[in-house]
Chains A and B, each alone.
Chain A
Amino acid sequence: DVKVTQSSRYLVKRTGEKVFLECVQDMDHENMFWYRQDPGLGLRLIYFSYDVKMKEKGDIPEGYSVSREKKERFSLILESASTNQTSMYLCASTPLPGRNEQFFGPGTRLTVL
Chain B
Amino acid sequence: AQTVTQSQPEMSVQEAETVTLSCTYDTSESDYYLFWYKQPPSRQMILVIRQEAYKQQNATENRFSVNFQKAAKSFSLKISDSQLGDAAMYFCAYSIIQGAQKLVFGQGTRLTINP
Contacts and interface: CB of A to CB of B under 8 A. Distances in A.
Interface of A: 31, 33, 35, 40-45, 48, 50, 56, 58, 90, 92, 94, 96, 98-102, 104-107
Interface of B: 4, 6, 9, 33, 35, 37, 43-47, 50, 91, 95, 97, 100-108
10 contacts: A40-B9, A40-B108, A42-B91, A44-B105, A45-B103, A45-B104, A92-B103, A94-B101, A101-B47, A101-B50
Residue among A31, A33, A101, A107 with the most chain B CB within 10 A?
A: A101
Determine the main DSSP class of B at the interface with A: loop
A89 to B, nearest CB: 12
Contacts of A44: 105
